[in-house]
Amino acid sequence: VGYGTFLPVRVSDIRNHIIHSEWCTVPEKSAEIINNAKANGKRIIAVGTTCVRSLEYLSDTNGNILNKSENCDLFIYPGYRFKVIDAMITNFHLPKSTLLMLVSAFAGRENILKAYREAIKKKYRFYSYGDAMFIA
């Protein structure tokens, strides 16, 4: 996870944002396990947004995980169609961050904002060392 993960989006049209890249790899055995699980109707639960980006990036159009290592520059924001993951565990992220956009793409902006309001009300801790949430 690089510093770019925490940089805010500073453009008015998110499609013009240039996201940082991260090196990602999926070992052959991991790809096999994930692909078999999907083929058998099991849910794929990613732990962390880097895992989400990596799995989505290193998959084919059918959602099959490929045994590859590459620089991932996938920017996931509302409108993105997830191919691999069915749920995720992640932190509460900074406003205007690409990570907040990623979770909004998965769960819907209004659902995320509602969860954040509840988290603030209950004094949850935010950011990388704070509380986490399960999104399905």
Query: What is the full DSSP assignment across the chain?
Result: --GGGGPBP-SSSGGG-----EEEE--HHHHHHHHHHHHTTPPPEEESHHHHHHHHHTB-TT-PBP--EEEE-----TT---SS-SEEEEEPPPTTBHHHHHHHHHH-HHHHHHHHHHHHHTTPPPSTTS-EEEE-
Total domains, the chain: 1
Average pLDDT over residues 42-58: 97
Q: For residue 48, give its domain range.
A: 3-135
108-136 per-position pLDDT tens digit: 999 999 999 999 999 998 877 789 999 99
pTM: 0.90
Q: What is the pLDDT of residue 9?
A: 86
CATH number for the domain that contains residue 23:
3.40.1780.10
